[in-house]
Structure 1
């Protein structure tokens, strides 16, 4: 396919997904579909709605805005409460969807969005933290910091503090990134480990470093996007902190690029073990890399030369995994359904573990990032 054909195809794909999805039954939330349970407020839908709002912003097509508002309004009640969301669950994943509330509040001025923003902010006020000050990923994972959590919570936190709290928590957000750099970055590769346990008690944690054993691609992807999204929301008055995160972003992209597959432009599920049995080129993390870099270049956070790496990742993913079904519908494959650490499934962070999780089609953890990268591609045209 030509690049133009790919972009057209992706536009059709998004339209197909939203035409067949609602807040009660989103086509892209494969975990929810498989569970057979009613939908809840969650980060997966949050990622997808961020993508549809970004499409509205880029194209001006109101159908994307109407869909996003309808989706969010199913959950956000007139009094600002959020159906199925409990701040006292202390799950950073549940903060992610909050980013979209700022956009709807700006566009519509409805007070329920402002109240819902305050409700989500109340979770962070009492979210348990490590001794060094980082949010625990979830209350059920004590003393643990996961890379994913930076994407889930920090952009919302930074935007709230900048807009509504006189920047009081911005340095706190910055320090959480610096702690991650201190504890979770591998000096040899420049990659970041998926998780860190300050207590060193979890079976997956290295007794010396506290880190999990491997570099999971999607966690790295969330982390790269988190840095871009936080910088986008951060006031440059915080001169040193702004440049600190920007330098960390640039270095991370340089280091990650070394692991980009030469032939396809994609990245491997476990990044530093290309081609070994069980490993595969994975869609979601590759798309997150493409999006982070394209957006970083557009915002002037990254050098222009990096855009070529992102475009190669974007088109490589589409060439390998975006295809037409016999009935004419489209599908995006190569998406790791889920991966985590600990829990009742004894997820130990080993290579065998990361290779064992299901690989699926059309899940928003891959679709959302690819659509976000797509919006950057069309914005740069």
Structure 2
């Protein structure tokens, strides 16, 4: 009888433990729920002025903020929000048409991911026709391409290759969206091939990434672009893709390192491996998105990584102010071989660099 009671108690404890593990990314305190937080962030986007690239075209931070709000609206079936977001885009294709990015740079071509997201939601072919050229021209060498760009293209890579870690979200996201919109594997396969190039060139043995080959610093948001880019690819890559094992290995190695470098409070630093550097929100949110997705998709061990992801989310939410703006966001940052440069980067409030990945986290948490 005693043995049966002990066995029953052990079973009960085991069940309680499993229940707790399964709900780490579901049950949150009041004010921390992803639906509530996501609504604040998504509707806040509607009130924002355009964030332009070079003062001319819709920028990548705005593009990703917009797409994040669309995905949140779709997942939560918020028809009002979806209508307002589409209405804003309609204005962009009419009286604001001059703000549509040209197709000559990695930071501009990524814009195609936004109309392709709208196409997948609405099935309106106008969005498809607008978005696909942004994906196609990443691999169509222009007549004025320089020698290096032609060399990259000759090796099968995008002529926009430059080996900055930021690129592995900019290239990945538009190619991934083109794959989802068309079903044509060429888009996802060339993105995967590009990712392997960047992994081989930039990932260090500790799993983190230099900003560029000549900039040996582990910049937070730059590493975040890599983490999010690998996440997007792993979500979509067919199981028989030859590059999938390499990308999964790079992802797993990075996630282990991020677990080790997470601050006790849950955030990550502007320079990830520098304990005296400041906690930065955009990179932290990108890491959280990659971790949440990994746990839910089964790429990461739930018992080991769900607590890491939960700690990050609980640390991130208090940085959102009463207006729905995220604080402590590193401004747009070019590469520079100067460690102090990264320490001294200005910090913004409400910058779309931070708003976007926070939204990614909300729909990753809400996904079944």
TM-score after normalising by structure 1: 0.77
Say yes or no: does 1:10 pair with 2:21: no
Which aligned pairs between 1:222-237 and structure 2 lie closer than 5 A? 222-237=225-240
Q: Indicate the residue corresponding to 2:146 in structure 1.
A: none
Q: What does the per-residue CA deviation read over 1:152-194, in whole Å, with 9 as the maximum and x for residues that have no partner?
A: 111321442565374235443222222212211122x221111
**Shift in Å, 1:19:** 4.6
C-alpha contact 1:41 1:75 (8 A) present in aligned 2: no
Q: Equivalent residue for 1:140?
A: none
SS of match in other structure, 2:58: coil
- Secondary structure of 1:146's aligned partner: coil
Matched, 1:56 2:60: no
| Offset of residue 134 of structure 1 | 4.2
- What secondary structure is seen at the aligned counterpart in 2 of 1:3? coil
Q: Is the contact between residue 117 and residue 177 of structure 2 (CA under 8 Å) also seen in structure 1? A: no
Determine whether 1:286 maps to 2:284: yes
RMSD of Structure 2 on Structure 1 (CA): 2.7
The structure with the larger Rg is 2
| Aligned residue number for residue 274 of structure 2 | 273
**1:120-199 to 2 correspondence within 5 Å?**
120-126=134-140, 128=149, 131=152, 133-135=156-158, 144-161=162-179, 164=182, 166-187=184-205, 189-196=206-213
Counterpart in 2 of 1:309?
308
Q: Which residue number in structure 2 is paired with residue 208 of structure 1?
A: none
- Going from structure 1 to structure 2, the CA distance change for 1:48 and 1:272 (only over 3 Å counts) comes to same
Q: Between Structure 1 and Structure 2, which shows a larger proportion of helix residues? A: 2
368-377 vs 101-110, which moves further: 101-110
Instruction: Give the superposition deviation at 1:46.
Output: 1.3
2:325/2:355 contact within 8 Å kept: no
d(CA) in 1 for partners of 2:79, 2:238? 30
Paired residue for 1:85, among 101, 111, 129?
101
Distance 1:108 1:355, change over 3 A: same
Question: What corresponds to 1:116 in structure 2?
Answer: 130
- Give CA-to-partner distance per residue, 1:11-41, whole Å, 9 cap, x none: 46326513523xxx24xx4x77xx9x5x622
Pick aligned residue for 1:252 from 251, 254, 273: 254
For these two proteins, the number of residue pairs brought into alignment is 329
The answer on whether the counterparts of 2:102 and 2:109 sit within 8 Å (CA) in structure 1 is no
Unaligned 5+ runs, structure 1: 138-142, 197-204, 206-211, 342-347
1:339 deviates by 0.8
Aligned to 1:241: 243
Q: Is the Cα–Cα contact under 8 Å of residues 77 and 83 in structure 1 kept in the other structure?
A: no
Partners of 1:247 and 1:73 lie apart in 2 by 41
Maintained 8 Å contact 2:281/2:329: yes
Structure 2 distance, partners of 1:370, 1:62, is 21
CA contact (8 A) 1:184 1:195 kept: yes
Task: Name the structure 1 match of 2:217.
Answer: 214
